[in-house]
Structure 1
Amino acid sequence: MELLPSLQIPYREHRNGFWGEETATINWCEEDYNITFYCAEAINTLTNLVFMYLGVKGIRNVLAYGHSSVFILAFLGYMVVGLGSMAFHTSLKYSMQLADELPMIYTVCIMAYAAFSYKKSPVARALIAAALVGLACFITVYYLYAKDPVFHQVAYGILTLSATSRGFFVMEQRLAPFLQKRMPSEAPQLMREIRTLAVAGIVMFLSGFFLWNLDNIFCRHLIQARNQIKLPWAVVLEGHGWWHILTGLAYHMIIWRVWLNRCLDGSENEYMLDWKPLRSVPQVLVREIESQAIAAQQQIGLVRTQLASKQREMRLAQLTRSEISTLPPDTAVYEGVGKMFVALPVPVLQDKLGLQMKVMEADVEGLGKRLHYLETTAKNSQEHIEKMLSGAGRS
């Protein structure tokens, strides 16, 4: 069934653009300036926003829960990759191409450092850092000289494979026996969880790589199909955009390393992996105390609402009692009972309202005590979390 014509927007006919001549050594299958005059590849640019969102989320997670500071550098590099890619796809300038490609090398070097330097001596960590800095410099200089995208892609692939392989080696050879010895009943579930996270990250990365290559191989056919389908539906055929989204979601691999380190530290009882596969973005949180603090905050909101409602009822009862006190005692007043109204003498209604007010005063007092208890619980939980995180930061 054909799409409704009113929902199909044609691409621009002219391909001239705001940024002028293209100087990049590579160009992708998205036709240049075919959506807007101001951005060479609009879809390839916008899909990099996933790096911004997840990078900020990752840094906040590291800072909030006291994870190793090396992951702040990893997430900053991750965001710089996204910014560089946005600049490159917007302008198709060679300088912006370098701003996209070289941070990819530097960021994976940071992750390689996290993988190979864990629990090493200060001297060994310094040597590993020096070796990776030297390797990054060599790749940079050679790439600036050769200007060969294939060299960059191979170097990036080898570095990524090395860091990931090291993580899997540590997970299977060190973490699995460690957990089996220390907590045999819970070890299978923990290992299944951490393996699933790692595999999910790898599958997303490889899926993005597959779609990117399909985009390159079948570019001519995809361009024809996009021009027939028209916007906005045609954006689903932008394979390089899917590469950005799926490699952005390979953010899971950084969180995998965070959780791997926590388990190797023996702090898996203090922290938890908060993640529902294909339904949420993973993060490593403080376990029971965090849940207790969140539950207390939710209860505080509920109790405050109930307290405000009771106080309104008391004010209404006080106002009603004050108004009927000015009436003669034999005046018939009416009280609603279901769908009926029942006549009551003024003194009877005053006594009834007085009794209701005493009950409400007791309810308000009880809610006040519960609110104080919940606020104290939330405060104590937060203080406990802060002490735990400060201790983790020093370790």
Structure 2
Amino acid sequence: MAPTTASFDEIGYWSPNTASVDWCENNYVVSYYIAEFWNTISSLFIILLGELGLYLCPTKERRFKVTFRTIGIVGIGSTLFHGTLRHKMQLLDELPMIYAATALVFICVETKYGPQGRWFPIGLATWLALTTIFVSITGGKIQFYTFQASFGVLQLAIIYLTATLHHQQKPLILARGGQNHSGWLITRALCVYSFAVIIWLIDLHLCEFINGVGPNSVLKWNPQLHAWWHVFSITGVYFSTLLIAYQHYVAKGLNPSVYLWKGFAPALTLDAKTLNKNAKLN
């Protein structure tokens, strides 16, 4: 649905809603104390994958510790936002998303072009500060679409950088006698995240037809598409982060490869010999 409050929602503990968007889940239906119950519960999966990525990260580089930890913070903010639909909690959800995406852009740029000097992190920090201020002081559709535009630009930058790195590193990986897992990660990241975006758009723009309670709804029950967006989008982000880490390690000469942790969770492992030679990582 559009960024406004639905007329069929119940009144609850955190009412009235002050966020710039109210998603398609009917409010305070399951619990008087939780505005969007299923959106709140599904946000816990974001925390889980952020912590899992941090746990399985094969090196202790600060850039990946910051990235995975920020993803976990996104989950915490999302839980608070959907549980309350308050503006301040919305910022705790949206701003960490921008911070995490910016961290990934930073890693991609340095992987592709090498260290950029102090001007680059300072420039990114300045842009983040200005974005934080603007997103924080605005409201309604201006706030909603400003955030979406900022986050969208970062996503497009990540797609471009990872795609060009994939083609750039192909000969390097083959020359080292390794197997290129980059394409495997790209395919899964794009497929899962694209599906997530589709159901996000349906939830946003076609809510009156799928909310299960409105007069125009063609469904008798709400499929909770935004909750599923949480699950599939963070899975796509997890694959994307693995891809970026994989490309970073290739550039470092560490011969990374993908394996399934416990038989189901994709993770990276590094060649022990090359890891020992490159023990001091930034």
TM-score range, shorter chain: 0.7 to 0.9
Aligned to 2:280: 394
Aligned to 2:149: 154
Higher helix proportion, which one?
1
Q: Cα 1:168–1:229, aligned 2, differ >3 Å: closer, same or farther?
A: closer
Cα root mean square deviation, aligned: 2.7
Q: CA deviation at 1:264?
A: 2.4
Aligned to 1:375: none
Q: Cα 1:57–1:225, aligned 2, differ >3 Å: closer, same or farther?
A: same
Q: CA deviation at 1:118?
A: 2.7
Amino acid at match of 2:13: F
In the alignment of these two chains, the number of paired residues is: 267
Aligned to 1:134: 126
Q: CA deviation at 1:389?
A: 5.8
Aligned to 1:197: 185
Amino acid at match of 2:176: R
Q: Secondary structure at the match of 1:154?
A: helix
Query: Given that residues 116 and 128 in structure 1 are in contact (C-alpha distance below 8 angstroms), is that contact kept between their aligned partners in structure 2?
Result: no
The partner residue of 1:273 within 248, 258, 280 is: 258
Amino acid at match of 1:82: G
Query: Given that residues 209 and 243 in structure 1 are in contact (C-alpha distance below 8 angstroms), is that contact kept between their aligned partners in structure 2?
Result: yes
Aligned to 2:5: none
Is structure 2 residue 95 aligned with structure 1 residue 102?
A: yes
Is structure 2 residue 199 aligned with structure 1 residue 244?
A: no
Alignment of 1:291-302 (within 5 A): none
Query: Given that residues 112 and 165 in structure 2 are in contact (C-alpha distance below 8 angstroms), is that contact kept between their aligned partners in structure 1?
Result: no
Aligned to 1:262: 249
Query: Given that residues 212 and 218 in structure 2 are in contact (C-alpha distance below 8 angstroms), is that contact kept between their aligned partners in structure 1?
Result: yes
The partner residue of 1:51 within 46, 58, 62 is: 46
Query: Larger C-alpha radius of gyration, 1 or 2?
Result: 1
Amino acid at match of 1:177: P
Q: Secondary structure at the match of 2:31?
A: coil
Query: Given that residues 255 and 284 in structure 1 are in contact (C-alpha distance below 8 angstroms), is that contact kept between their aligned partners in structure 2?
Result: yes
Q: CA deviation at 1:67?
A: 4.9
Alignment of 1:367-382 (within 5 A): none
Aligned to 2:4: none
Partners of 2:74 and 2:155 in 1: CA distance: 15
Partners of 2:43 and 2:279 in 1: CA distance: 32
Q: CA deviation at 1:58?
A: 1.0
Aligned to 2:269: 285
Query: Given that residues 59 and 75 in structure 1 are in contact (C-alpha distance below 8 angstroms), is that contact kept between their aligned partners in structure 2?
Result: yes
Partners of 1:120 and 1:224 in 2: CA distance: 50
Amino acid at match of 2:164: F
Q: Secondary structure at the match of 1:207?
A: helix
Aligned-residue sequence identity (percent) comes to: 23
* Residues 338-358 of structure 1, C-alpha deviations (whole Å, 9 max, x = no match): xxxxxxxxxxxxxxxxxxxxx
So what's the TM-score if we normalise by structure 1? 0.62
Partners of 2:234 and 2:186 in 1: CA distance: 14
Q: CA deviation at 1:39?
A: 0.3
Structure 1, unmatched stretches of 5+, are: 1-12, 288-384
Q: CA deviation at 1:119?
A: 7.2
Is structure 2 residue 24 aligned with structure 1 residue 29?
A: yes
Query: Given that residues 66 and 393 in structure 1 are in contact (C-alpha distance below 8 angstroms), is that contact kept between their aligned partners in structure 2?
Result: no
Is structure 2 residue 59 aligned with structure 1 residue 66?
A: yes
Aligned to 2:171: 177
Query: Given that residues 199 and 226 in structure 2 are in contact (C-alpha distance below 8 angstroms), is that contact kept between their aligned partners in structure 1?
Result: yes
Q: Secondary structure at the match of 2:27?
A: coil
Q: CA deviation at 1:97?
A: 0.7
Q: Secondary structure at the match of 1:128?
A: helix
Q: Cα 1:243–1:389, aligned 2, differ >3 Å: closer, same or farther?
A: same
Higher relative contact order (CA 8 A, sep 6+): 2
